[in-house]
Amino acid sequence: HGGFYQAVADGSYAACGLDVTIRPGGPQVNNRALMSAGKIDFYMGGNLLYAFSAVEQGIPSRIVAAIFQKDPQVLLSHPGAAKSFEELKDLDVMLISDSGFQSFYRWLMTDYGFPADKRRPYTFNSAPFVTNPRAVQQGYVTSEPFAIEREAGFAPDIWLLADHGFSTYATTIETMQATIDERPEVVQCFVDASIIGWYNFFYHDNSAAIARIKADNPDMTDAQIAFSIAKLKEFGIVDSGDAKRLGIGAITDARVKDFYDKMVRAGVVAAGLDIARAYTTDFVNRGVGLDLAPGN
């Protein structure tokens, strides 16, 4: 969330006339429903599957920017347990959550032959993984590897699904079609300021943003934040691929179609959706903030 906090802290939203309040999410808060009801203007979404679902359900929301060019979803294995991504399926146990089993794991089964019968529920407790050297566990590149290294004393091998074909965007900015139609200048301001916030958070003084993050999330430590930023940079989660040319937040039609086709093939999403209704490129791909990146 760092770049959004940065844009509040450094005045990027205020500079184009927006007074932005960040409302933390969580299991008890359905911010997507609040957006549909007009209670909030913008929603920080997950990956493209949520947007495809909105199309299927007839919900008139759209992605207007994709902050993460790569989904941070990973598989973790014990050091040296697998020599390649393809070898992971030969290990003994796959610790995968219910939602993961219905989404990215179906793609792993279709495209890589991962076995359904080795799957065990992942309950967001890493103990079953830590104690079994032939286990594989899902996670986020910014989260579980840090916790396992801190609590179990070893750094797991990290396999980013995006680097093996799971081509969705993530940490999207979503808004309602009515907001796009009635207040396009507000959407453009929010998108541009968020992008500038992410560049400044990554490459310039982010201390004020980190203070705000810790105020909203008292359990968040400096060490966790530093680890997260380092992994986002190391794996090119935000500033890579099309973002290097078009700017952070980039979206391309070809990329969305590629992911949609893979999810249809894996049986995750229905065929025949009008995926153009899931997103718009009208507010991104303008090179906003490129001058703030190193070397530019």
Q: Where are the domains of the chain?
A: 2-69+167-292, 73-164
Q: 């179906």: which residue's tokens?
A: 106
**Can you tell me the distance from the alpha carbon of 22 to that of 196, in angstroms, rounded to the nearest whole number?**
16
Q: Residue 220: which of 234, 209, 231, 233 has the closest Cα?
A: 209
pLDDT of amino acid 295: 85
pLDDT at 103: 98
pLDDT beneath 70: ranges in the chain: none
- Residue 200: the pLDDT is 98
Query: Quick check: pTM over 0.75?
Result: yes
Q: What pLDDT does residue 41 have? A: 98
Can you give the pLDDT at residue 170?
98
The widest CA-to-CA distance across the chain, in whole angstroms, is 55
pLDDT of residue 26: 76
The whole-angstrom separation of Cα 189 and Cα 204 is: 21
* The domain over range 73-164 is classified in CATH as 3.30.1310: no
Average model confidence (pLDDT) across the chain: 97
The pLDDT value recorded for residue 281 is 99
- The CA–CA distances, whole Å, from 126 to 77, 81, 113, 122, 221 equal 12, 17, 24, 8, 20
| CATH numeric code, 2-69+167-292 | 3.40.190.10
Comparing 2-69+167-292 with 73-164, is the CATH topology the same? yes
> Could you tell me what percent of the chain has a pLDDT over 70?
100
